[in-house]
Chains A and B, each alone.
Chain A
């Protein structure tokens, strides 16, 4: 089992709809969860992070964490063509204070259809 798993997609969503991206992780002790957006040929850009159970909202983006089921989701409301990118999920696996490393999923490619 991979430590961080994402569906590679592509996920196609009509413009204006809600895009839902999911990520599962293997380490029940993980505390920190991140979503990065990566445009083709560009570097990953941090868009959301969540440290505790529950939801976190920032503009059109909502991150949802379900620790019992070990998955984290990213919802993008009112999807825009500019949201078309690959979304990377990252999780701290087996890390403690002073040993901060992230493990990345392979990403989900999202396409917003005008």
Chain B
């Protein structure tokens, strides 16, 4: 089984709808991250969490919110989706504690029409 899983893998939604993307991990890592990837812009950090009680904004958090339900679960919500949120979304995890290697989930392709 994959260490980092994301659901759904693909989603098409309409402008104004609320949508939640979920991430689960079995790696036992403390740190979890949400990125979006757009052609030509690379990976950009949306939110990150270093433990269950710690949530931090990344460089592009506007229009997004997150919830860290447990060490293993980190969800990303789009409260009112807009077309420019169409992108590939990745969850990643890292052990932390002075190490930086991040391991990515398979991604969610989100299309907002």
Q: Which residues of A contact B (CB under 8 A)?
A: 8, 32, 34, 41-46, 49, 88, 90, 92, 95, 97-102, 104-107
Contacts and interface: CB of A to CB of B under 8 A. Distances in A.
Nearest to A105: B42
B81 to A, nearest CB: 21
B106 A43 contact: yes
Contacts of B43: 44, 88, 104
**Chain B contact patch, size range:** 20 to 34
B96 A44 contact: no
Contact of A106 (B42, B50, B99, B101): B42
19 contacts: A34-B101, A42-B106, A42-B107, A43-B104, A44-B43, A46-B103, A49-B100, A90-B102, A92-B100, A95-B100, A99-B50, A100-B31, A100-B50, A100-B94, A100-B96, A100-B98, A100-B100, A101-B48, A105-B42
Interface in B65-98: 90, 94, 96-98
Given A90-B102, A95-B100, A97-B98, 13 more contacts: A41-B109, A42-B107, A43-B90, A43-B106, A45-B104, A46-B102, A98-B96, A100-B50, A100-B96, A100-B99, A100-B100, A101-B45, A104-B43
A107 B100 contact: no
